[in-house]
Structure 1
Amino acid sequence: MPYRSRRSGCHHPFTRRHLFAIAAAGLAVTALPISATGATSDVVETDEEPHHHVIFQNGVIRLMRVLIPAGKATLWHEHTHDYAVTVIGGSTVHTGSREDGSSMDGEMTTGSVIYGAYQDKHAIRRITNTGPDLLHQIAFELLRPSAGDFGKADRSEASVFALVLDEQRLKAWHLTLEAGASTPIYRQDGPGVRVVLSGRRIIETKPGEIGHEGVVQAGDAAFTLPATRVLTNAGPTQLSLIEFELR
Structure 2
Amino acid sequence: MLPQRVSAAGDPDIVPIEFASFHDQTFKNEYLQFMNVTIPPGQIAAYHSHTRDFAQVYMAVSDAEGTPLGGKPSITPRKVGEVLFTNYTKKPGVHQVANVGSSDFRIMGFEIFDSEPGRFTPLARPAPYAPVMDNHRVQAWRLILQPGEAAPAMQQAAPGVRIVVQGGMLVEGIEGKPDHKLNLKYGDFAWQNTGPVRTMRNVGTSTVELVEFELK
Say whether the fold is shared (TM-score over 0.5).
yes
Partners of 1:128 and 1:64 in 2: how far apart?
A: 17
Q: Are 1:77 and 2:45 counterparts? A: no
Shift of 1:160: 0.5
Aligned partner of 1:66 among 21, 24, 37: 37
On the 8 A contact 2:122/2:139 being kept in 1, the answer is no
Partners of 1:125 and 1:195 in 2: how far apart?
A: 25
Partners of 2:144 and 2:168 in 1: how far apart?
A: 13
Q: Are 1:120 and 2:90 counterparts? A: yes
Paired residues for 1:98-247 under 5 Å: 98=69, 100-155=70-125, 158-226=126-194, 227-247=196-216
Partners of 2:190 and 2:48 in 1: how far apart?
A: 25
SS at the partner of 1:153? coil
Task: Please tell me whether Structure 1 or Structure 2 has the larger radius of gyration of its CA atoms.
Answer: 1
Q: How many residues align?
A: 211
Structure 1 pair 22–238 and aligned structure 2 pair: CA distance change class (3 A): closer
In structure 2, list runs of 5 or more residues that go unmatched.
none
SS at the partner of 1:47? helix
Q: Are 1:48 and 2:16 counterparts? A: no
Partners of 1:83 and 1:219 in 2: how far apart?
A: 18
Q: Are 1:88 and 2:56 counterparts? A: no
Shift of 1:154: 1.9
Aligned match of 1:35: none
Shift of 1:77: 0.4
Partners of 2:92 and 2:8 in 1: how far apart?
A: 22
- Structure 1 or 2: larger strand share? 2
1:81-100 CA-partner distances (Å, limit 9, x unpaired)? 100111111112111111x4
Partners of 1:167 and 1:120 in 2: how far apart?
A: 14
1:191-224 CA-partner distances (Å, limit 9, x unpaired)? 1110111122222111121111121111111111
Partners of 2:119 and 2:197 in 1: how far apart?
A: 18
Partners of 1:22 and 1:204 in 2: how far apart?
A: 49
- Normalised to the residue count of structure 1, the TM-score between the two structures is 0.81
On the 8 A contact 2:6/2:46 being kept in 1, the answer is no
1:29-75 CA-partner distances (Å, limit 9, x unpaired)? xx43xxxxxxx6x0000011121101110000101110100121101
Partners of 2:166 and 2:75 in 1: how far apart?
A: 28
Shift of 1:147: 1.2
Shift of 1:20: 7.9
Partners of 2:108 and 2:203 in 1: how far apart?
A: 24
On the 8 A contact 1:62/1:141 being kept in 2, the answer is yes
On the 8 A contact 1:199/1:235 being kept in 2, the answer is no
Q: Which amino acid aligns with 2:40?
A: P
Q: Which amino acid aligns with 1:240?
A: E
Moved over 4 A (4+): none
Identity in percent: 28
SS at the partner of 1:50? coil
In structure 1, list runs of 5 or more residues that go unmatched.
1-18, 24-30, 33-39
1:151-201 CA-partner distances (Å, limit 9, x unpaired)? 24322xx12111111111101111111112211101121011101111222
On the 8 A contact 2:133/2:139 being kept in 1, the answer is yes
Partners of 2:146 and 2:36 in 1: how far apart?
A: 27
